[in-house]
Structure 1
Amino acid sequence: MQRPDFSRNNNRGVLSTIFVGLALSLASATAALAQSSAPSTPKSPPVPSFPCGGLNPIGVELKPIPKLSNGEFTNPGADCAMWQTFIYLNWPAKSGQRGIPDTSALFGAPGTTVWESFLTEEQVFLPNGAQPQPWNNQVVNATLPKEVASEFAAGSMRMLTRTAKVSPTVAKLQATLKARKSPNIPLDEITQADGNILYDQQKNPVYYDVAMNKTQYDYITQNSLYNATTQATFAKTTNIILPSGSIEVKAAWKVLTPVEASSGRFHLAKGYVPGSADGKAVTIGLVGFHIFASGGKQNAGLWSTFYQVDNAPLMGATGKQAYSFNNPTSKTPVNTKGTNPTQVVQVFPDDVNAAKINAQAQKIITQGYAKSPWQYYAMVDTQWSKTVLNLSTPIPQTVPLSAGKPGDISTNTLINPVLETFMQTKGNSCMGCHAFATTAQKASKTATGFSFMFGSAQAPK
């Protein structure tokens, strides 16, 4: 299957599918489409919008995804909803307001995105079960240099836990991470889900970032679930279930070469290596992006994963381009643990429906802003349950959670090559993995509504 061609800006026929609006609702989508031929002079840049799939065409909204309902989704509709969410999450953020898009900015303009302004897992689940900071407070980490502390507090600086020049052994890295005591380093996990490290062609490790939106933060803080002791008491009488509208994201970053940084093909951020000799920030680029949008008590939610198109070729492809994680002339076995650099291929092609929507989204993005780096990102697929669930009973729910009978999940394989490089086998998926998420208690089997975050809670000392 061919990937969408992100090298061309072909807008032919796109105008007939685009409607303009800021925060369009589903109810107004049809009317907006009917009026698309009328002249318009918006005061702010138009939000990229497109109808696609499902029983209800979904237009892009600058807010979390619309109400989840299994009966209203088809595979194209679910893909469209998560492309909408991707655009919302990666829209430039309004300064000083976490999670609020700046509607005066172009999609792809430099700066902190909506999700980068979210609080990270490490900023909410603190040592000794301490109470986390208020949502909009910018708490400065006193252990960081003054010149980067404020940027980190605002989300415009990502913390890297190792230098990019030399790659220590996995054992040394793990020992270093275990010895860490700083609670506010969001990129302190550079191992993948199966405990292995991915290296790019410059022999630098990939770093990972986990964050949550305000809906999820409010649920955690209002119920004191950041405290392992309180969490265990809560779970005895009430199942831990993220409310509908909660969003978790996991991002993968690579340290960019000067050529990559100036290419315009990556969303850029600043990364800081604590304790580095030069004390300077490095330029990092987003290469992978997971989204989990919770569906609440009656729904397993939507699970989607995106990638930067220069990451790696599809298995069997004969492309000769320069990839971030693949050298076409290398004899190194593909997707092999312990290799540096790692020779990566994408084992499973993008879903047919997702590929069509990727191409449509790319056209719309470039029409809104021809230089937007987001035109170089694509979706692998979206996973969702076709059946209505009841996560509220029995109490407590135990792992693994189920999304229904076999065949009720839209796809049982969903893998991102830079987030689960070494796990690219049939049957592995986001929901399949997160079904085993539990509370922080040792050897716990109590489920936490598909979210691994709760396992990070600590007890007071």
Structure 2
Amino acid sequence: MSHRPFMLLPVAIGAMGLMACPAKTLVEPVQPLPPTSVGDSAASSCPADPSWLTSSTLPGEVPGNQSICNFQQFMWQSMLALVQPASGDPTRLQFETWMPSYGIFIKDGTPTPWGQEPPNSCSSIQKAASIAGTTPSKPPRVYSDITKQAGADQPLIDLKGEFVYYGMSVNQSIYNMLTSCQLYMANCAGPLKPGNKGIDLISKYPNLALPNTAVELKTSWMVLDGSGFNPDLFYVVPGIIQYKGGPCRQVNLGLVGMHIVAKTPNFPAMIWATFEHRNNAPDCSNTSAAPPLGGSWNFFNPNCTNCTTNTYQPGKPAQVCRMHPEGDSATGTFPDGNDCKANPNQFACQDKTRAMLAQSSEAINAINSSVQSLIQANPTLINKVWANYELVGNVWTVGGTLPPYLQAQQGALSAANTSMETFVQNGVAAVSNPYNCMSCHNMQGPTNSQNLPPVGLSHLFDNVQMPGGCENGSLPTTCNPYLSNP
């Protein structure tokens, strides 16, 4: 998301969000299930480090003994590093310099070189405005025409009738891999894009994986113009939005959600975390609660007496609430009342799983409180807005297990972002629990007997548009460094 002359931050994903998944059975390894670390020192205390408030260094691995708390620390440290001023350009944040998906997956030509601003369908309008001398004092930092959520394939409409807009971006590590392997071309991407033809990556390159320093981002943005919301409560940027090829609109956008997906040497299935604005929505079990930051809920109207929660209705604002706080699959609100009392044999309701989920929730709440306290107490910190955001879910596999089948997962097994997975908090069909990013980002191949190589955990390849590539049936030699065992 690097930006000259206009700073266009990619706005959100298929990569970290839930994608619609066919009903397939994962090809699971024939080995005993790894133990979960239920007895670790997860959460009675899960502090943040004050140094994170000013450090732009992303952590390369989960720290300590990799307790549940350590995973939450890893992700809050990542979040705070991403919102530091970018090196060489203090007017931007670090995550605003990463490459948006539309700069990589294009119809023809080559991906935009790293560090340059990719063109978009509003670029000519922006250029014309600049020539005419009508460019606003703050150039747009976000471009997005993505309104449909992953999984549900439906838009989130806010309380004033505006769509929420999404974007996706990757760090230079992923960018280098995608361009070196030419995975932005259909023939090279092969089965990584559902229904696509091309080279047989499954048999020829079963170990093709993202690099161990890979990080993907998905962001969600709410139009603040004329909203009545206090802009001081949000991270706000000027942006350009466009709906279905229609007119380009310059608006002020408030950040309401961010997915961070990181791969490390010990966790090849990646670590999947999601952050939200604290005023997004109340818990479904307590919709009378007041917004923690004051003012109004971003996506919940307490005065609507006949609104159906978490249900898409065309043209109408959504009434959003959180079904499983902290992603705890054993608590919260269940479809058809199928909770642990009604069905105690569910995986989420087993004693060992419930103990792990409780530790995860406690650690999330503890580190959120720690970060918010540190930000508020720091006298030198200029932008304290990040205290208005919180970690709401984080999930990974024990021991780095691949594929990431359910029994190997740990953390927030029902992690969902109310601004990105509004309508699939209990699964695509609203009957599956637990359900999280790994439910779809799971290496499923085109048939029940096949798994994609590990790179298939990402859904970036849904965006492949360019035909051709790899005409000799093989990936280019520049891809060789990414072909070793993950």
TM-score by length of 1: 0.68
Mapped pair 1:419 → 2:420: yes
Distance 1:438 1:287 in 2: 33
Aligned partner (choices 440, 449, 452) of residue 446 of structure 1: 452
**Alpha-carbon distance, 1:258 to partner:** 4.6
* Structure 2: gaps of 5 or more residues: 1-44, 191-198, 327-360, 427-432, 469-486
Structure 2 vs 1, CA of residues 159 and 190 (structure 1 numbering), >3 Å: closer, same or farther?
farther
Please name the residue that 2:65 is paired with: 72
- AA of the residue aligned to 2:163: P
Superposed, 1:186-335 pairs within 5 Å as 188-232=146-190, 233=199, 235=201, 236-238=203-205, 239-258=207-226, 262-274=230-242, 281-295=250-264, 299-317=268-286, 318-321=288-291, 322-331=296-305, 332-335=307-310
Structure 2 vs 1, CA of residues 383 and 86 (structure 1 numbering), >3 Å: closer, same or farther?
same
Distance 1:377 1:144 in 2: 33
Q: Is the 8 A contact 2:238 2:250 kept in 1?
A: yes
Distance 1:451 1:112 in 2: 26
- AA of the residue aligned to 1:334: T
Distance 1:383 1:113 in 2: 26
- AA of the residue aligned to 1:79: Q
Q: Deviations for 1:400-438, whole angstroms, at most 9, x for unmatched residues? A: x335x7154334211111111111123110122211566
Secondary structure of 1:374 counterpart:
helix
**RMSD, aligned CA:** 3.3
Structure 2 vs 1, CA of residues 146 and 76 (structure 1 numbering), >3 Å: closer, same or farther?
same
Distance 1:158 1:149 in 2: 17
Distance 1:438 1:147 in 2: 46
Please name the residue that 1:372 is paired with: 384
Please name the residue that 1:347 is paired with: 323
Distance 1:382 1:160 in 2: 26
Structure that is richer in strand per residue? 2
Distance 1:132 1:155 in 2: 23
Q: Is the 8 A contact 1:241 1:297 kept in 2?
A: no
Mapped pair 1:159 → 2:143: yes
Please name the residue that 2:312 is paired with: 337
Of 247-256 and 236-245, more deviation after overlay is shown by 236-245
Q: Deviations for 1:220-241, whole angstroms, at most 9, x for unmatched residues? A: 1111111121233372422331
Secondary structure of 1:362 counterpart:
helix
**Alpha-carbon distance, 1:72 to partner:** 3.1
Structure 2 vs 1, CA of residues 221 and 407 (structure 1 numbering), >3 Å: closer, same or farther?
closer
Distance 2:179 2:139 in 1: 20
Structure 2 vs 1, CA of residues 84 and 262 (structure 1 numbering), >3 Å: closer, same or farther?
same
Q: Deviations for 1:253-297, whole angstroms, at most 9, x for unmatched residues? A: 1101456565411011112134776x6511010101111001358
Secondary structure of 2:260 counterpart:
strand
Structure 2 vs 1, CA of residues 255 and 268 (structure 1 numbering), >3 Å: closer, same or farther?
same
Q: Is the 8 A contact 1:53 1:76 kept in 2?
A: yes
Distance 1:196 1:93 in 2: 34
Q: Is the 8 A contact 1:311 1:323 kept in 2?
A: yes
TM-score by length of 2: 0.65
Distance 2:116 2:147 in 1: 25
Secondary structure of 1:434 counterpart:
coil
Distance 1:320 1:85 in 2: 29
Q: Is the 8 A contact 1:264 1:371 kept in 2?
A: no
Please name the residue that 1:132 is paired with: 111
Structure 2 vs 1, CA of residues 324 and 356 (structure 1 numbering), >3 Å: closer, same or farther?
same
**Alpha-carbon distance, 1:134 to partner:** 1.4
* Structure 1: gaps of 5 or more residues: 1-51, 97-101, 103-110, 162-187, 392-400
Structure 2 vs 1, CA of residues 432 and 149 (structure 1 numbering), >3 Å: closer, same or farther?
farther
Q: Is the 8 A contact 2:144 2:167 kept in 1?
A: no
Secondary structure of 1:293 counterpart:
strand
Distance 2:387 2:266 in 1: 35
Structure 2 vs 1, CA of residues 84 and 138 (structure 1 numbering), >3 Å: closer, same or farther?
same
Secondary structure of 1:360 counterpart:
helix
- AA of the residue aligned to 1:237: K
Please name the residue that 1:433 is paired with: 440
Counting matched residue pairs gives 352
Please name the residue that 1:361 is paired with: 371
Distance 2:256 2:119 in 1: 28
Superposed, 1:31-42 pairs within 5 Å as none
Secondary structure of 1:418 counterpart:
coil
Distance 1:259 1:342 in 2: 15
**Alpha-carbon distance, 1:347 to partner:** 1.1
Secondary structure of 1:417 counterpart:
coil
Structure 2 vs 1, CA of residues 311 and 149 (structure 1 numbering), >3 Å: closer, same or farther?
farther
Secondary structure of 1:381 counterpart:
strand
Q: Is the 8 A contact 1:112 1:156 kept in 2?
A: no
Indicate the percent of aligned positions where both proteins have the same amino acid: 24
